[in-house]
A and B are shown apart, each in its own frame.
Chain A
Amino acid sequence: MSGLDDNRLVRTFAELRSAGRKTLSPFLTAGFPDVETTAALLHDFEARGVKVCELGIPFSDPIADGPTIQSSFTSALDAGFTTADAMELVRGYRSAGGGIALVAMVSYSIVFRRDASRFLSEAADAGFDGVLIPDLPLEEAGEFEPLAAERGLANVMLIAPTTPPQRRLQIAGHCRGFIYYVSVAGITGERDKLPEATIEQVRELRGHTDTAICIGFGISRPEMVRTVCEVADGAIVGSAIVHRIADAIQQGASRDDIVARAGEFVSELIEPTL
């Protein structure tokens, strides 16, 4: 049905599941602080066991993102980073043998401006495996879904705590690669605790779909990754990682040092899934 059996993202989750394993999916802002560092971070994460990663394409007005990710976007854009650079970054990572399944997290503002077909062709060609468009809900995704599928890209969709039960099933039915389950109503950013209700909702949804489910938003510590992975296939950590990269940059750390610091944190986060 999906025609995505060869898709690296689909394959990765299938392999993880048959091995009885869970995963950590880090989020990185493409081009923050520069192309070379993002590429080095991907290779480093891969060596630490990361199999799936989200790469955020910087946007001027990311309404679903909190201050940490927004300021990384602003900083990359101020340095002149473009969507075309993000494609080049992934192409370079693939030609250097990079094997993480990569999901482009990108605003529909950018996709629409570029033309959805063109954007998707470029993304597939560069070596992305999936796309996640946080501002393209089910109602608006009708024309987009087949365009992604035709190019072998998994269209990852979000379910929120505010999504009614019936709609969760509908979204799950359209979603490819994995379902991105948003843990809290609000924006991205580190939080101390995950709502119990989310864990219950995911447990419930688990019984209705074979598609992998990852939980994201607010996850910032290894214990939270462990909790999430009791019910889900993976945990997504964004702001907490980007925050460490931003701190390292602020302290004037070298590229190697930035990568090492972010990498060590990812090792702590991924430990509960290994």
Chain B
Amino acid sequence: MSRKTQPTPRKGYFGEYGGMFVPETLVSALAELDRAFAEAMADEKFLAELDRCHREIAGRPSELYLARRLSEKCGGAKIYLKREDMNHTGAHKINNTLGQALLAVRMGKKRVIAETGAGQHGVATATAATVLGLDCDVYMGTEDIRRQQLNVFRMELLGARVLPVETGQRTLKDATNEAMRDWMASSEHTHYILGSVCGPHPFPTMVREFQCCIGREAREQMLAAEGRLPEVIVACVGGGSNAAGIFHPMIDDKQVRMVGVEAAGTGLRLGEHAATLCAGSPGVLHGAKSYVLQSEDGQTAPVHSVSAGLDYPGVGPEHSYWKRIGRVSYTCRTDDEALAATAALSRAEGIIPALESAHAVAEAMDLAGKMSADEIVLVNLSGRGDKDCNEIAEILRRRRGG
């Protein structure tokens, strides 16, 4: 029975995407979280405290930086970078973990848990937990533990426990499963700090709200610098939290084009990439209806990206909605393009971007080259590349050897 469904304003839905597809055991925890989040966001004291944490701990506001030499190199539009890479812990992730950790304290929880792929969200969670006095356990696939030794060490140094996950592909998706399982048994005293705009309601809305500081600042900074908004905003999309954070506050500025950049990996056959919106189809994963990479039979597909942070077979439901209504266009860039953009930005501006963010830089460089000098491209530089240096060195070594 295929009935035409109009987007209906159901709670926790973005058009037909979103929802709360979780075991009954989690429903009351999500309802409690939904209430607590709504109350907190209506409480001036909570918002002031969040703002203080963002300033004093994360180091906000992050700079808006005109990348002159990179712009010249591309020979077209001016490229501005929103410097989320300058945040404490090295990426936009801290914006969300501080928000959720404050909420955990407000709800009287003593412990937080998180999933992590590359370890950036794990480090940001461990940091927020420590500074707010919460116990912290981070689930991480053993494959990622092997690839991201430095972040494992950072989390442990920050006082968190890293719990290895041996199931499935032993990466982010599997760590997410394990964190949800933990939460089913522990929600009475534990809050689950989910790291992206994914998962069941209220997570996609809550994480976006905690990330919207990016777009609010960028909007003001753009107006101050240029007296107008950019022609186009570019952000990378794995789960989609940095993109949602910069897009959402300008989503009603209809003249601003928005581009989300996914990981095309080594090719667009299933298993070679993580381009969920570009190559996937609507499905249900980790509690939400959204685009998913899965087999004909509904089994989650293996994914690949050189950047561990984009290496995920799902995407936030609001992005599926923005794709459906045509507000944001989604494209993808390969591992090689991301590596080339990493080198280009490093050499032009002295900024080593995270491999995730480098996907957005690659897209922005191409777009800027085709635009005129009085136009503006704004890139969300979501994280810095220190964490990736070992991985990049390894790839370059292999290539020289081969």
| Residue of A84, A113, A187 touching B185 (CB-CB under 8 A) | A187
| Residue from A60, A135, A160 in contact with B287 in the complex, judged by beta carbons closer than 8 Å | A135
Across the interface, do A162 and B25 meet the contact criterion of CB distance under 8 Å?
A: yes
Determine, out of A1-9, A42-50, A90-98, A104-112, the stretch whose residues face the partner at the interface: A104-112
Q: A63 vs B395: C-alpha distance in the bound complex, in angstroms? A: 34
Using Cβ atoms and an 8 Å threshold, which residues of chain B touch A184? 185
* A111-B289 Cα distance, complex, nearest whole Å: 12
Report yes or no: B284 in contact with A109, Cβ–Cβ below 8 A.
Answer: yes
Q: Is the CB of B24 within 8 A of A77?
A: no
A156–B180 Cα gap in the complex (Å)? 23
Known A61-B168, A108-B284, A135-B284: A113·B294 in contact at CB below 8 Å: yes
Looking at chain A, what size class is its interface with the partner chain?
A: 35 or more
- Taking a contact as CB atoms under 8 Å apart, the answer to whether B28 and A136 are in contact is no
Q: Provided the pairs A70-B167, A162-B29 are in contact, do residues A77 and B299 lie with their beta carbons within 8 angstroms?
A: yes
Q: Are A61 and B284 in contact (CB under 8 A)?
A: no
A63 CA to B300 CA, complexed, in Å: 13
> Are B184 and A185 neighbours in the complex by a CB distance under 8 Å?
yes
User: Interface segment, B14-22, B86-94, B327-335?
Assistant: B14-22
In the complex, what residue of chain B is closest to A147 when comparing beta carbons? B1
Which A residues touch B73, using CB under 8 A? none
Q: How far is the CB of A176 from chain B (nearest CB, A)?
A: 16
Residue of A nearest to B283 (CB): A113
Q: Is A82 touching B23 in the complex (CB atoms < 8 A)?
A: no
Interface set, chain B 1-22, CB cutoff 8 A to A: 1-2, 19-22
Contacts of B23 in A (CB 8 A): 63-64, 134-135, 137, 158, 160
- When C-beta atoms are compared, the residue in chain A nearest to B285 turns out to be A109
B177 at the interface (CB under 8 A from A): yes
A61 to B292, CA, bound (A): 13
A117 on the B face (CB < 8 A) = yes
Q: Is the interface of B mostly helix, strand, loop or mixed?
A: mixed
A135 to B168, CA, bound (A): 19
| Size class of the B contact interface (CB-based, 8 Å) | 35 or more
Q: How far is the CB of B122 from chain A (nearest CB, A)?
A: 19
CA gap between A108 and B174 in the complex, in Å:
18
Cβ-defined contact, A187 with B297, below 8 A = no
Is the Cβ of B299 less than 8 Å from the Cβ of A164? no
A186 and B182 alpha carbons, distance in the complex (Å): 7
B interface footprint on A236-263 (CB within 8 Å = 1, 0 otherwise): 0000000000000000000000000000
Q: How far is the CA of A187 from the CA of B1 in the complex (A)?
A: 34
**Could you tell me if B20 and A64 are in contact, using CB atoms closer than 8 angstroms?**
no
Contact indicator A109/B294 (Cβ below 8 Å): yes
List the A residue with the shortest CB-CB distance to B12.
A139
Q: Are B285 and A137 in contact (CB under 8 A)?
A: no
CB-CB nearest in chain A for B181: A187
Against B, the Cβ 8 Å flags (1 = close, 0 = not) of A9-50 are 000000000000000000000000000000000000000000
Report the bound CA distance from A131 to B57 in whole Å: 49
Provide the residues of chain A in CB contact with B287, threshold 8 Å.
135
Tell me, in angstroms, the Cα distance from A64 to B180 when the chains sit together. 9
What is the CA–CA distance of A158 and B19 in the complex, to the nearest angstrom?
18
Q: Which 8 pairs show the lowest CB-CB distances between chains A and B? A: A113-B298, A186-B185, A110-B298, A160-B25, A64-B23, A60-B299, A158-B24, A160-B24
Besides the contacts A112-B284, A135-B22, A137-B23, what 18 more A-B pairs have beta carbons closer than 8 Å? Answer: A61-B285, A63-B181, A77-B299, A107-B284, A108-B284, A109-B298, A109-B300, A112-B289, A112-B298, A113-B284, A113-B298, A115-B2, A140-B20, A140-B21, A162-B187, A167-B27, A186-B25, A187-B181
Chain A positions near chain B (C-beta within 8 angstroms): 59-64, 66-67, 70-71, 74, 77, 82-84, 107-115, 117, 134-140, 147, 157-164, 167, 171, 182, 184-187
Q: List 30 A-B contacts (CB under 8 A).
A: A59-B298, A60-B300, A61-B285, A62-B177, A63-B180, A63-B184, A66-B181, A74-B167, A77-B299, A109-B283, A109-B300, A111-B298, A112-B289, A113-B284, A113-B294, A113-B298, A136-B21, A137-B27, A139-B20, A139-B27, A140-B19, A158-B23, A159-B24, A162-B26, A162-B27, A162-B187, A171-B24, A186-B25, A186-B181, A187-B184
